[in-house]
């Protein structure tokens, strides 16, 4: 799976990942309340996600479930960003992420442990 999520698709998938299995109607109600979308907008995005193979809708009730986990999507998006913007350099990516960021001692230790596990 090499599909990129557009911002609108990511918003809908956040709802799905948090609530699944969830009906298309409930997704549209949540999107209306939290994002300000109308039902047609939400249903259009659901159809796009289904055509990309990221989401499955099943009758009756158009119950939606993800076909790609949030963790899988995060890895794909991070890999895409790494290749597109940082020419594959993890060092450049981490430098950009940490440059203006104040980290606590605990966060630094967690990052150190993640690196040491590799």
| pLDDT digits 0-9 by tens, 51-86 | 999 999 998 889 999 999 999 999 988 998 899 999
| Pairing, β 55-58 against β 63-66 | antiparallel
The architecture in CATH of the region 1-86 reads Orthogonal Bundle (1.10)
Which single residue is written with the structure tokens 């790494």? Answer: 82
3-state DSSP percent of the chain in helix, strand and coil, to 5: 65, 10, 25
Q: Is the pTM of this model over 0.75?
A: yes
pLDDT band at residue 1 using 50, 70 and 90 as cut-offs: low
Domain ranges of the chain: 1-86, 89-118
- For residues 53 and 1, the answer to whether their CB atoms sit within 8 Å is yes
pLDDT band at residue 94 using 50, 70 and 90 as cut-offs: confident
């Amino acid at each position: 799976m090499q599909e990129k999520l557009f911002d609108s698709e990511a918003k809908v998938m956040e709802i799905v990942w948090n609530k699944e299995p969830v009906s298309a109607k409930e997704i549209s109600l949540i999107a209306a309340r939290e994002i300000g979308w109308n039902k047609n907008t939400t249903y259009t995005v659901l159809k796009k996600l289904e055509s990309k193979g990221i989401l499955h809708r099943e009758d009756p009730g158009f119950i939606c479930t993800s076909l790609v986990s949030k963790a899988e999507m995060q890895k794909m998006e991070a890999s895409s960003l790494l290749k597109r913007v940082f020419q594959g350099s993890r060092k450049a990516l981490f430098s950009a992420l940490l440059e203006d960021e104040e980290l606590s001692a605990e966060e630094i230790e967690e990052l150190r442990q993640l690196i040491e596990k590799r």
